[in-house]
Each structure stands twice: as C-alpha cells, then as structure tokens.
Amino acid sequence: MNSVHSAFTIVLASASPRRSQLLALSGADVHVHPVGVAEQTRPGETPESLVQRLADAKAEAALTAAHDAQLVLGADTIVVKDGRILGKPTSAEDAEAMLMSLAGRTHDVLTGLTLIEPASGRRAACVTLSRVPMRGYSQEEIRDYVATGSPMDKAGAYGIQDEDINPVDLAAFADCYTNVMGMPLCQLGQALSALGYRPPRDLGQICQSYGRHVIAPWQGEVQGAA
C-alpha cells in the first residue's frame, strides 16, 4: 500500500494564471514551469485522445524542472462544438466569430490531466468532460467583451468566470465548473489520492463550491503503481 503524503510540491507545466490559482487552493507548494508543446490534432485523433496526449506531453516536458518536487502536473483544455475543436482566437474578429457560434447553444469542454511522480515514474491521468450551455448574448455584448482582451488567451474565446459577459447559462449548467476553467479540482483530488497524496485542503469541497455539479467517480487511470 502506498504511503500518504500530506505536504508536497507540484510543478505545474502551464502558463495559465487560472490553473495556477486553482491549483494553489489545494494548499500544495506550486511551482509554475510553462512548456512549449505543439498542439496540432493528429489525423483521426478524438478530442479525448488529443487532450490526454497533450497533458502527457506537457508533464513529460516539465520533468527536467522537477528538481526536488514530488509531482509534475500537465493539463490541456479544449472546446468542442459540433465535432470541431475551437482553440484560442487568433484575432478579435476570430474571437467574435467563435462567441457568436456558441451563443444560445451547448458545447463540450474537455480537460486532460497528467500527474507524474518523477522519483518512481508512476503517473495518474484522466479526461474530464463538461457540457456547457451558453446564454443568448448579443453581438454588442460580444464586441464589448472582446474589447477587454479577456477572450484572447482562452480556448473558445471565453471564460466561464468572466463577469464582463457571463457567457454560460448557469441555471442550466450541471457539470464541473472548474473543468471549464481548465483545472477540474474534483478529478485532480482523486488523481492525487490514487498516487498516495493528500492535499492539505479538500479539493472535492472546493470544486463543489465553484458551481452546480456532482463530483463524478474517478475516471482516470494509474500507471506504474506498486
């Protein structure tokens, strides 16, 4: 049986301020180390396979920065509408087009997480999917929101937490809020537990406090466990 670690350091392989803020809520010691990974989709690759592959690649690329850290975490989030993957907008016009295509409709947000324990090579990985209903915001609201610059670093050109537009119909939303932000804390907590780590704070409770959703059973896999 694995021993339980209640104090540990995580290297986060991401430049996302939202991911680092959410991860810091765990109480773990977080070191941010962004990595460059090509994010092109491979022929025939499903959205689930894509986010898991990219999360794996990011975690592996950050292993050189692990030093004395107990864990390395890679994450990737994509927006999928009608089978098409929406990345970060390339221009204000692109952001406006993305937001208009999402208005009043439901799409999927998927986040892949990969935790690696450098000392042992063990890893836990999962993909979390949320169905996201958008409200029917107006073209004027879109223009005002894009003018703030906030959509430009976000997949799908929006943040569920952005009060400049409040894009999601939260009354109809029933899945993981923090997943749409890019870090499903409920699944992260279960991934940590699967590797024998217990955060100082309850990630499941923190995740529930963010939005209306039920914490799903652990949907990932553990590799290299003793």
Percent with pLDDT over 70 in the chain: 95
Distance CA 184, CA 213 (A): 11
Within-domain flag for 4? no
Q: Span 61-86, mean pLDDT? A: 93
Largest CA distance in the chain: 58
Q: How many CB atoms are located within 10 Å of the residue 223 CB?
A: 11
**Is 62 part of any domain?**
yes
Residues with a known catalytic role: 76
Q: Is the pLDDT of residue 225 over 90?
A: no
Joined tokens for residue 65: 């920065």
Which H or E run contains 108? strand 106-116
5 pLDDT exceeds 80?
A: no
Tokens of 123: 């890893």
Q: What is the pLDDT of residues 7-25, one digit of tens each?
A: 789 999 998 899 999 999 9
- pLDDT mean over 156-184: 94
Counting the structural domains of the chain, the total is: 1
Residue 177 corresponds to which tokens in the numbers above? 């809020």
CA atoms in the 13 A half-sphere facing the CB of 131: 8
- The answer to whether the beta carbons of residues 59 and 49 sit under 8 Å apart is no
Question: Which residue type is seen at 18?
Answer: R
Flag whether the pTM goes above 0.85: yes
Residue 47 lies in a domain: yes
The arithmetic mean of pLDDT across residues 78-101, rounded, is 95
pLDDT at 1 over 50: no
83: nearest Cα among 122, 45, 36, 26: 45
| pLDDT tens profile 114-133 | 999 999 999 999 999 999 99
120: CATH: 3.90.950.10
Q: Which domain holds residue 138?
A: 9-223
Q: In 3-state terms, the chain is what percent helix, strand and coil (to 5)?
A: 35, 25, 40
Band of the pLDDT at 85, cuts 50, 70, 90? very high
